[in-house]
Amino acid sequence: MTASAAPRAPCPSPTCPNPRLAAATLLVSATLTVMAGATIAPSLPALRTHFADTPDIDLWVRLVLSLPALAIALASPPIGLLIDRKGRVPVLRASLVLYAFAGASGLVVDTLWALLAGRFLLGVAVAGILTSSTALIADAYDGSRRARFLGLQGSFMGFGGVLFLTLGGILAELGWRLPFAVYLLSLLVLPGAILGLHDGPPPSREPGATEVADRVPWAPLVRIYAVTFMGMAVFYLIPTQIPFLLQALSGGGASTAGLAIAAGALVSATVSLLYGRVSARVGFPALAAASLALLGAGFVVVGEAESIAGVVAGLGVCGLGTGLIMPNGAQWLITTVPASLRGRSLGAMNTAIFLGQFVSPVMVHLFLSEGGPAHAFLVVAGGSAAAGATLALQAGVSDRRQQQRAVWK
């Protein structure tokens, strides 16, 4: 597919039966992914009380939230290789089914260890959904159209966070198990994946490209993966720590925590809608730097807040940054690798995304030994701002070098 070619239907097949259904299915699938683990965040305090006799329960209860991220990190590379070889759509359909049953297992299991097993399988399902759906988008669109659709995908991820976290907060007030029922919503997406999505032929290579098994662009890929890992490790402080911060600050309950996190997700979703326009004017590294800097600024506001309103304001600032992270990372990667390597490259990026989520609560557990959740936000804010400044400097140097090369040519 060349840069000037017209985009194919969102279902990459010349015989796609319903392009609009295909596009809707891919976008709704996005709502099930990045915030999947955070759906039960408002239940964490009650879950900790329920399993209070478990040694080191504070760490284990946070791992209930983040274990899906570890599963995604481990499962994404082989899933990416599988979809490159066998097709995107079968993996997506199977993953939607697994998502429902693994996610909803928390409604019935009786032990913490069984709950953790279900959370791990949920992560495998998310890996399949996110990798296959993003690969389908990459196959179907190019250039600015792809950027706009990835922005829409990021927006649906944000709106999914708003929906899931709000529902999770409301249901958690009735009982800590009830938010696990939200995962059954994936079964509503399955008919669209069956009727609207069909794999076409494998995407063609770019003109002039050769078999690239020994020409993977490792240097830029490592940079993309490192930036993505850092951004998600910082971001995931929000669902893992906000419920505890609000409880300590004002005695806020599960619904308060869910609504506060959802407010930031709403800002994030709105910003993602603008990604197509912004990316046409600002380079990928500079956008990544801005995302991290905005997260750092938002965390300062959250860490210094003395009321729920102050925390919500800080989360709104964070949302300005998080709305750029996912679409920018995906578009940056897709424009860097050849079409034949999209699945496995996206799988590796998902490993970076969700390994960052998994590491986040473990990292913060160390900070909590020195102070409460507010202290953790302030410490991470400094690191985020420093990382953003470093990336901005690197982006500026890279831009100047490219301009110099253009002059000499």
Give 258 or 254, the one with higher predicted confidence.
258
Whether 60 contacts 51, CB under 8 Å: yes
Burial (0-12, 13-18, 19+ Cβ within 10 Å), 313 = middle
CA dihedral in degrees (215, 219, 222, 224; nearest 10)?
Answer: -100
Range 66-84 average pLDDT: 89
pLDDT in tens, 197-219: 877 655 554 443 344 444 677 77
Range 317-333 average pLDDT: 88
Q: What is the pLDDT of residue 94?
A: 96
Structural domain boundaries of the chain? Answer: 19-198+217-408
pLDDT in tens, 97-151: 999 999 999 999 888 889 999 999 999 999 999 999 988 988 888 878 888 899 9
Distance (Å, whole) CA 124 – CA 293 = 31
Q: State the pLDDT confidence band at 234, using cuts at 50, 70 and 90.
A: confident
Q: Which helix (H) or strand (E) segment is 188 a member of? A: helix 186-196
Q: What is the pLDDT of residue 213?
A: 47
Residue 95 has pLDDT above 80, yes or no: yes
SS3 labels along 209-263: CCCCCCCCCHHHHHHHHHHHHHHHHHHCHHHHHHHHHHHHHHCCCHHHHHHHHHH
Share of the chain above pLDDT 70, in %: 84
Residue 408 has pLDDT above 60, yes or no: no
Lowest-confidence region among 1-10, 99-108, 201-210, 222-231: 1-10
Distance (Å, whole) CA 300 – CA 298 = 5
Q: State the pLDDT confidence band at 277, using cuts at 50, 70 and 90.
A: confident
Distance (Å, whole) CA 60 – CA 54 = 8
Residue 407 has pLDDT above 60, yes or no: no
Give 18 or 193, the one with higher predicted confidence.
193
CA nearest neighbour of 86 among 343, 338, 330: 343
Tokens of 337: 């690798």
Whether 101 contacts 184, CB under 8 Å: no
Share of the chain above pLDDT 90, in %: 18
Q: What is the pLDDT of residue 214?
A: 41
Lowest-confidence region among 59-63, 173-177, 390-394: 390-394
* Residue carrying the six token digits 């097949």: 13
Residues 6+ apart with CB under 8 A from 136: 10, 11, 12, 26, 88, 89, 92, 197
Domain 19-198+217-408 fold: Growth Hormone; Chain: A; (1.20.1250)
Give 177 or 255, the one with higher predicted confidence.
177
| CA distance from start to end of the chain | 27
Give 236 or 351, the one with higher predicted confidence.
351
